[in-house]
Amino acid sequence: MALRVVFMGTPAFSVPTLAALAAAGHDIVAVYTQPPRKAGRRGLTLTPSPVQLEAERLGLPVRAPLNFKDAADREAFAALDCDVAVVVAYGLLLPQAVLDMPRRGCLNGHGSLLPRWRGAAPIQRAIEAGDAETGMMVMRMEAGLDTGPVALTTETPIAATDTTADLHDRLAEICATLMVEALDKLEAGTLAFEDQDSIAARTGRAPIYAAKIDKAEAALDFTGDASGIARRINAFSPFPGAWTMMSFGGAPERVKLLRAAAETGDGAPGTLLDDRLLIACGTGAVRILELQRAGGRRMSAEELLKGTPVPAGGRAGAA
């Protein structure tokens, strides 16, 4: 017998899981997502979330409360009489009263190897820190921030030039597969959980918070170590996009650096060491592999350099 499921999610990351649960035959009685946001140049167009668009495609009922502070919203959730709530990047904190409503609890898909990287930006912070691997976990939600016990885990390596976009897409697909497995086991009564203190003792992963990305972090300083600078570029790609000022035959312009690799090299920090976008750092150098000029599209360094020479001896750095 299929479970009665409430799905709660908002961005594109959540869509594969919603689609997979629907394809698995579960009775999705409602989809919760954040309300449409203002978009367009003047902010006059209301744009529904990717999850809302997918729910409408699937013919599923959509609800988009601002929060659950209103008693009517909590009562409407309770009236769904669901077995389980599946939460994947919903973006709103659920009060304890809501967490307690589903008969078999609330399951969350979280993109890190808990207890490492609890919080808002686990994918970005794992890349920035130089972690060799990350993963997707299905956990039971509780009042604390990403502190609940974990049921299922799938690990995935982080390559030296993986960006947040790369890892985001990979983990979204892993989440879909893992959540279908979790609901199968929940339905069969075989879904077991391990508390995060036990995981920390077994793996050596200490709890650490993945702070939300501040746009101010995206301005690059090339006086540091090349490995750390390359990781920051990759971690902040595509958003907010690590940036610097560079000249392409004219006045310096702001350019986003969207994929990079650390290499050997020696020179004053910010100096272009060759004509293929190798930038000297305090230690070593970073090779720029993808970038985006102001008002332009994302492109590979090779594509840019075919039409726009960037000779050695130039400079990169904040204005």
Residues comprising the binding site for (6S)-5,6,7,8-tetrahydrofolate?
A: 112-115
Tokens found for residue 231? 């990781």
Q: Say which residues have a Cβ less than 8 Å from residue 75's Cβ, sequence separation at least 6.
A: none
Angle in degrees, CA 150, 156, 161, rounded to 5 = 140
Number of other residues whose CB lies within 10 A of the CB of residue 226: 25
Q: Which residues are annotated as a binding site?
A: 112-115
Tokens found for residue 233? 């570029």
Number of other residues whose CB lies within 10 A of the CB of residue 78: 14
State the sign of the Cα–Cα–Cα–Cα dihedral 303, 307, 311, 315.
Answer: negative
The residue assigned the tokens 């890892």 is 167
AA identity, residue 246: M
